Structure 1
């Protein structure tokens, strides 16, 4: 009896998975260029561009001044002119400086020209708290989800860091690719062969029966830790990794929440007008009052560089577990 061939796997760090995707796509498509601070011979602030400068040269891997508005503007213009630029913004906080060319030009070009002009720009930016204070720790994904024409993705594993970057590099319009400081040193297995992760498709990280946790990026690790703690109490958590925030896979969330009867949204950003607020409202629209819903996010305070205050502000597994206990007791 013949057997199906086994897919070979490799183990890579999150940062290595990004570099692998970029290396393969840059070899495939000479229009791809990288712009950003320290992306050249230094290899990126988190070494996610390591080796690309040596392989592809300064013409395609270009260091820029600390000028985020200009970086995004140049990237948008280059994309409209036929290139496929990746603009690296080291801290998501500073993406605010580039919102005008990103939101008012790149995201709207297709609409303003009746589809004649496309802007295949990727803005790769790093979010999250890791001891760097109020202006280097914010998660602003919810701001970007509301922009028509803009796609937003946030991987949580090396496999999806690779697969979502491959998808982004083949998109016809602008994409914001959000990674997280705490994920770069994380290792994980992934197929040795090319695997492209489609946008708009969430995945189950853990199956359960009592409550659904919908989350993304580094908060998936927090959710998994909370689920382990609650399992010892007899509570079964189902965890959904959203992966893609715009487009959002509402069908998977609704399917899970409809079965468990309870939904907790978890994000590192603010819950006011946040990712969870959007999910909660849309799930309630689809499923009505049959599902109990709660949200967990950062406290309504700037993220301090003081480690004790930072830990108090950002959600952890104990806080998630408490919220789930309260949700199930309601």
Structure 2
């Protein structure tokens, strides 16, 4: 008898919407606040139809005021609600860092566990023609904050499952999606299902090198692996999914099998996600050959040619992997 779950096909943005609708119906303490989340249905249509179901009390439009949005969410969470604060561009998440980092992430510690901040901040990262202040990936900044969970889905199934986990978490959680992923389709379980934090996913098995990535870069890595397969080079592609907590066990086991590590990210490599991945793996199994690729050390231009030159693509990723495996 097959144990595979029945699935249905949907877009990434639809998977986000489904998770939010199910969790709001399950828990009346959940409400959404942010720019355009009400009758408009979200900047990327990821909340389409929820205003008609839950009304303005639970789908609350806010001004362009990210610091206030996160501050209100943190206060509401401390008071017993479970807010989902939506920050359209990750670049402007930093306006709310005081409330997120100095209050929400530390609340449990400040009160000896008497208070928590069960809030989710959903924010959209990555480059897609919108220029220097709307294209950044700063998840590595967030990974260093004690008390903060950070997740980044790459598939509709994980967009669904990780959002459900986030809305059930005692938080705070930063849920990072990517502009280029919203219109991508995929299979999502028909029955409600969560994706636990701290579990990476092996998207492609391989023997020559472990490629560790997250978010949109998973698609880039899989395309690069396809290119290299034609040359007889076998890549194991691992999707972090959860950056904090991180599934070091799965990562270390993969690198121990393949003997090499390649980290791929859209953010900066300086103090980046890849550095943390490599450090944790090598602390467990000892040093192995390692290479990394990320965005160039320059602001991401709105010019499509310059944007493409700045961000890793399959061809450049394949070239960097090839240089690591066959120097």
Q: With the length of structure 1 as denominator, give the TM-score of the two structures.
A: 0.98
How big is the shift at 1:329? 2.4
Equivalent residue, structure 2, for 1:71: 69
Q: 1:112 to 1:188 in 2, by over 3 A?
A: same
Query: How far, CA to CA, are the matches of 1:251 and 1:34 in structure 2?
Result: 35
Of 85, 92, 106 in structure 2, the residue corresponding to residue 108 of structure 1 is: 106
Query: How far, CA to CA, are the matches of 1:276 and 1:28 in structure 2?
Result: 37
Equivalent residue, structure 2, for 1:131: 129
Q: 1:260 to 1:132 in 2, by over 3 A?
A: same
Equivalent residue, structure 2, for 1:328: 325
Equivalent residue, structure 2, for 1:308: 305
Of 109, 115, 120 in structure 2, the residue corresponding to residue 117 of structure 1 is: 115
Of 48, 51, 55 in structure 2, the residue corresponding to residue 50 of structure 1 is: 48
How big is the shift at 1:5? 7.0
1:267 aligns with 2:268: no
Query: How far, CA to CA, are the matches of 2:291 and 2:197 in structure 1?
Result: 26
Q: 1:4 to 1:310 in 2, by over 3 A?
A: closer
Equivalent residue, structure 1, for 2:31: 33
Equivalent residue, structure 2, for 1:295: 292
Listed one character per residue, the Cα deviations across residues 180-222 of structure 1 (whole Å, up to 9, x for unaligned) are: 0000000001210111000000011000000100001000000
Name the count of aligned residue pairs: 327
How big is the shift at 1:325? 1.1
Equivalent residue, structure 1, for 2:218: 220
How big is the shift at 1:8? 2.1
Task: Give the RMSD, CA atoms, in angstroms.
Answer: 0.9
1:169 counterpart SS class = helix
Residue segments in structure 1 that go unaligned for 5+ positions in a row: none
Equivalent residue, structure 2, for 1:147: 145
Query: How far, CA to CA, are the matches of 1:272 and 1:285 in structure 2?
Result: 19
Query: How far, CA to CA, are the matches of 1:306 and 1:7 in structure 2?
Result: 43
How big is the shift at 1:4? 4.8
Query: How far, CA to CA, are the matches of 2:106 and 2:61 in structure 1?
Result: 27
1:209 aligns with 2:207: yes
Listed one character per residue, the Cα deviations across residues 117-176 of structure 1 (whole Å, up to 9, x for unaligned) are: 000010000000000000000000000000000000000000000000000011012000
1:73 counterpart SS class = helix
Of 16, 19, 32 in structure 1, the residue corresponding to residue 17 of structure 2 is: 19
Q: 1:41 to 1:319 in 2, by over 3 A?
A: same
How big is the shift at 1:288? 1.5
Equivalent residue, structure 1, for 2:244: 246
Equivalent residue, structure 2, for 1:189: 187
Residue segments in structure 2 that go unaligned for 5+ positions in a row: none
1:265 counterpart SS class = strand
Runs of 4+ in 1 over 6 A off after TM superposition: none
Q: With the length of structure 2 as denominator, give the TM-score of the two structures.
A: 0.99
How big is the shift at 1:328? 1.0
1:93 counterpart SS class = helix
Query: How far, CA to CA, are the matches of 1:237 and 1:276 in structure 2?
Result: 17
Query: How far, CA to CA, are the matches of 2:150 and 2:183 in structure 1?
Result: 22
